[in-house]
Amino acid sequence: MSDPVRLAKRVAALLRCSRAEAERYIEGGWVSVDGMVIEQPQHRVSTETVTVDPDARLEAEEPATVLLHKPAGLDTISGPNPATALVTPATRWAEDVSGVRLLKRHFVRLTPLVPLDRDGSGLMVLTQDGRVWRRLTEDGDQIEQEFIVEVHGEIAPYGLHRLNHGLSHQGRVLPPCKVSWQSETRLRFAIKAVQGGQLRDMCAQVGLEVVAIRRIRIGKISLGKMPAGAWRYLPVGERF
């Protein structure tokens, strides 16, 4: 039996490339050991069969951004029941057409962004990408979000007009937003700089009780038909 060596050394010998290039192939998810993809260059191998995907390339792998359909009852940013736990290889949406290859390292250090109330559902963003983080934090108040809010009760006179412009929340006069009826029991909000509990408070001020809230869009990125509990990648090049 041969002495164990680092996987990167074995790959460098197979491909006749430098050790640094071998490490990039491994970290890019192009190398398998006995049929299992290994992404750690320091992994030790001896008699195992090491193969390199024939489509392997040395292009830099982009940091991942994940779009999750959060069910109601889970926490987005912090809390005892984090929605981040739903992001696993098994829950990737089967209809994800992003073209991004699933890598184990995509599930490490995913930062949740753009808070959503615990009892709300819908689009949630988690990222490893500093560019996405800066866009959704530093410019977050300028990015429009869209919600479908299911309500119960009878709206007050001129209530729809007041929802669009004329309410306050926590002592702050709210800027204009776009609110319209989607059906007899559902309102559509297109709104910027929304705060926790704000939509419920706005509805209460015009005599409506909120039954459910679902976020369907952040900026240019929409939830689409992705089912609750599933996630997909943000395609490289798409922006909020």
Asked if residue 150 belongs to a domain, the reply is yes
100 and 149 belong to one structural domain:
no
124 and 76 belong to one structural domain:
yes
Number of domains comprising the chain = 3
What CATH number does residue 122 fall under? 3.30.70.580
34 and 71 belong to one structural domain:
no
Asked if residue 50 lies in contact with residue 7, where contact means CB atoms within 8 angstroms, the answer is yes
Asked if residue 60 belongs to a domain, the reply is no
Q: Kindly tell me if the per-residue pLDDT of 119 is higher than 60.
A: yes
Q: Kindly tell me if the per-residue pLDDT of 59 is higher than 90.
A: no
Asked if residue 223 lies in contact with residue 217, where contact means CB atoms within 8 angstroms, the answer is yes
pLDDT tens figures, 73-104? 999 988 899 999 999 999 999 999 998 989 88
Question: Residue 210 pairs with which residues in a beta bridge?
Answer: 151
Q: Say which residues have a Cβ less than 8 Å from residue 223's Cβ, sequence separation at least 6.
A: 67, 69, 122, 123, 214, 215, 216, 217
The share of the chain scoring above pLDDT 90, in percent, equals 71
73 and 131 belong to one structural domain:
yes
129 and 163 belong to one structural domain:
no
Asked if residue 186 belongs to a domain, the reply is yes
81 and 104 belong to one structural domain:
yes
Asked if residue 38 lies in contact with residue 32, where contact means CB atoms within 8 angstroms, the answer is yes
What CATH number does residue 18 fall under? 3.10.290.10
- Model confidence band, residue 136 (pLDDT cutoffs 50, 70, 90): very high
- What pLDDT, on a 0 to 100 scale, did the predictor assign at position 1? 53
Asked if residue 59 belongs to a domain, the reply is no
186 and 207 belong to one structural domain:
yes
94 and 42 belong to one structural domain:
no
What CATH number does residue 190 fall under? 3.30.70.1560
Asked if residue 187 belongs to a domain, the reply is yes
149 and 213 belong to one structural domain:
yes
152 and 214 belong to one structural domain:
yes
214: helix, coil or strand?
strand
Asked if residue 185 belongs to a domain, the reply is yes
Q: Kindly tell me if the per-residue pLDDT of 17 is higher than 80.
A: yes
Lowest-confidence segment of 52-56, 63-67, 131-135 by average pLDDT? 52-56
86 and 131 belong to one structural domain:
yes
Asked if residue 226 lies in contact with residue 67, where contact means CB atoms within 8 angstroms, the answer is yes
Q: Which residues form the domain of 161?
A: 144-218
Asked if residue 57 belongs to a domain, the reply is no
92 and 123 belong to one structural domain:
yes
Spatial distance between the Cα atoms of 33 and 51, rounded to a whole number of angstroms: 7
Dihedral angle of Cα 114, 115, 117, 123, to the nearest 10 degrees = 30
pTM of the model: 0.82
Asked if residue 239 belongs to a domain, the reply is no
